[in-house]
Chains A and B, each alone.
Chain A
């Protein structure tokens, strides 16, 4: 479908590509124009994408994008990281490191132009959330202070007056008390970190006395019941800010809290294996292309996130498409603000035990500090205990960090028969949680 003459109720359109995935375009042809410039730049600057684009033939930029194979995390870690590193030159840059929910981390390099592009997007999100002069924004996290410093710059650009980064540790009671005394008007946090505090963060102020107007959640899915609990306890609006390490944040909720708005000319959104929900809405694995990123850009990058995307108009009046995060393609669980996939644990353990086909993980009880993660493994691996423990923490750096921070304790338990149940073909049992 072309974006020309779209009905007013539409904010954009889906364009089907030759490889079966779909790309979202805006109403005004800006997506095509930005994408065309972007492909020209990659053709000139990236040997990796030059080779791929050469096989895509001619046509519009959207058509060529539709013929491109997805970019994998392995591509990002390997040739694309090498290209980025080689191209840094004497320009200043920052890095962002993430496991990408696997046992092999990805490193993202960002030069000043990337940082500013991401800041522009973040300012748009903060403005949509209602941040502005007179606000005191408090960011809460267990370790990632650098991203909070970035949020500080975006908030400052909107006239936000005060900014504080509040560091949460294994003993989180003093931090919640500090939050009460800081009297923020806005809070930015990872949902599971608020959940980890139990009732404490929700009981900081008597009903109707909370200074918080806005709570922005990042990094994870916000469960409906948690949204309701925060909104009720703090008497504030709760909105989700969605993005990935590799592409930055790019979508956020408006006041209607019905999907995250995004600008398809800044971050080009695609869907792999799409399925129609209705004529204006589809679901699939999120693919991202990043015309605004100069140092480590991607085309059709497979995020592993399952999303719903709609080009139907939102009642708020903003004429941009919306996205709803639905979860990960691979099974994950969230712990202390970090996402872990079961496969990541298995991959890490297989460094020591290549024939390992299953293990089970017991989480909790969470009333204890640190919270224990118990890995049940076959008895025959007992002699490799030290190496297996090292493989887990060396292979999954976020797990290592949480152990260091005193939030998690890893325990290995060996037994003749694993508690996997009777399912056939299972590779790794679901984590049983005592939360």
Chain B
């Protein structure tokens, strides 16, 4: 019988990276052997190379939500397979929010801090032929409204923490896993973290998040109540039971 997905991912990570062997002291045999870890547990890493599986061709960096402020303190790099999974999670989450129909045209409201993250989403969306343009918030609310009006999108994604635009258009807001959980539930949400990007989504009025797909495992660490994430499938950059922020309600 094959291992449960979490155990299989942990064992694969342990085999591929000395980091996990050092952190866990032994190869896990049951899920209970896999400890929850925080960013501080990775303080000894010299950089992204130690979180990268040898031989996996890097294709680029994973931009954190806020430029220059990654949760782990350094930028992560990924391989093609990891990129494709990120793309699949984003499309899966958006499709679910749109009742399985993917918007054709989107406007992403961003700012100087979240620009690289938003730009990365544009490239992921383009892969599924979604036209996604960027409106920058620095010029103020009126300018955001004019930008959205000009682009005439089917959906607006608020990547920067700005007020709701005055334009009447379906909205989804990006919520960082490290932030205090959003109290307002009248807007649909995408839950993201710096390591794996899109994790889950919640529709308007929904109180629980639904995981974007089966390539990630979301858990609440019973000891701390924190949200922990695992990349069940990975090519270059495994994340195993990494705490990414306060606990959220999971479906």
Q: Which residues of A contact B (CB under 8 A)?
A: 85-86, 88-95, 97, 107, 109, 112, 142-146, 148-149, 152-153, 156, 161-171, 174-175, 178, 181-183, 401, 404-406
Give Cα A89 to B74, complex, Å.
8
Give 23 A-B contacts (CB < 8 Å), ordered by A residue: A85-B48, A85-B49, A89-B74, A90-B46, A90-B74, A93-B75, A94-B63, A142-B126, A144-B123, A146-B119, A146-B120, A149-B116, A156-B138, A161-B139, A164-B133, A164-B134, A164-B136, A164-B151, A166-B151, A167-B126, A167-B134, A178-B151, A405-B126
Chain A residues whose CB sits within 8 angstroms of the CB of B138 once the complex forms: 156, 163
Q: List A contacts of B68 (CB < 8 A).
A: 92, 112
Contact between chains at B143 and A162 (CB < 8 Å): yes
In the complex, residue of chain A having the shortest beta-carbon distance to the beta carbon of B57 = A107
Assess the A165–B119 pair: CB atoms within 8 A.
yes
Closest chain A residue to B114, Cβ basis: A149
**When the two chains form their complex, are residues A152 and B112 in contact, meaning their CB atoms are under 8 A apart?**
yes
- B131 partner residues in chain A, CB cutoff 8 A: 167-169, 171, 174-175
In Å, the complex CA distance between A265 and B120 comes to 33
Determine how close the nearest CB of chain B comes to the CB of A351; give it in whole angstroms.
15
Q: Is the CB of A92 within 8 A of B74?
A: yes
Q: Which of B115, B126, B135 is within 8 Å of A164, CB to CB?
A: B135
Q: Are B133 and A406 in contact (CB under 8 A)?
A: no
Residue-by-residue, is B118-137 near A (CB-CB < 8 Å gives 1, otherwise 0)? 11101100111101111110
- B122, A91: Cβ atoms closer than 8 Å: no
- Chain B residues whose CB sits within 8 angstroms of the CB of A406 once the complex forms: 129
Closest 4 CB pairs of A and B: A181-B150, A145-B119, A165-B134, A145-B122
How many residues belonging to B are interface residues under a CB distance threshold of 8 Å? 44
Question: Once the chains bind, are A165 and B133 in contact (CB under 8 Å)?
Answer: yes
The reply to whether the CB of B58 lies closer than 8 angstroms to some CB of chain A is yes
Residue among B49, B60, B105, B126 with the highest chain A CB neighbour number at 10 A: B126
Task: Compute how far the CA of A230 lies from the CA of B150 in the bound complex, rounded to whole angstroms.
Answer: 22
Interface residues of B in 48-90 (CB under 8 A from A): 48-49, 58-61, 63, 68-70, 73-75, 77
**A residues near B63, Cβ cutoff 8 Å:** 94, 146
Nearest residue (CB) in B for A407 is: B129
Most chain B C-beta atoms within 10 Å of own C-beta, residue among A86, A144, A148, A164? A164
Beta-carbon contact of B152 and A178 below 8 Å:
yes
CB closest chain-A residue, reference B136: A163
Which residue, of A109, A145, A170, has the highest number of chain B Cβ atoms within 10 A? A145
Q: Is B35 at the interface (CB under 8 A from chain A)?
A: no
Task: Kindly report which residue of chain A lies nearest to residue B128, judged by CB atoms.
Answer: A404
B38 contacts partner chain A, Cβ-Cβ < 8 Å: no
Tell me whether A95 and B77 are in contact in the complex, defined as CB-CB below 8 angstroms, given that A107-B58, A181-B150 are known contacts: yes
Separation of A112 and B116 alpha carbons in the complex (Å): 13
Question: Which residues of A lie under 8 Å from residue B60 when comparing CB positions?
Answer: 95, 97, 107
Q: Do residues A178 and B150 form an inter-chain contact, with CB atoms below 8 A? A: yes
B149 in the interface, Cβ–Cβ < 8 Å? yes
Alpha-carbon separation in the docked complex, A331 to B133 (Å): 33
Pairwise interchain contact A404-B59, C-beta atoms closer than 8 A? no
Please give, as numbers and ranges, the residues of chain A lying within 8 Å of B69 by CB-CB distance. Answer: 92
Is B205 located at the chain interface by the 8 A CB criterion? no
| Distance to closest chain B CB from A70 (angstroms) | 25
Min CB gap B19→A, angstroms: 14
B74: nearest chain-A partner, CB-CB = A90
Contact present for A86 and B75 (CB under 8 Å) = no
Please name all residues of chain B whose beta carbon is closer than 8 Å to the beta carbon of A401 when the two chains form the complex: 126-127
Chain A: minimal CB distance from B104 (Å): 9
State which of B58, B74, B126 has its C-beta within 8 Å of the C-beta of A85.
B58
Q: How far is the CA of A93 from the CA of B149 in the complex (A)?
A: 34
Flag whether B47 is at the interface (Cβ < 8 A).
yes
Picked from B73, B105, B136, the residue with its CB within 8 Å of the CB of A90 is B73
Task: Find the residue from A97, A107, A109, A162 having the highest chain B CB count within 10 A.
Answer: A162
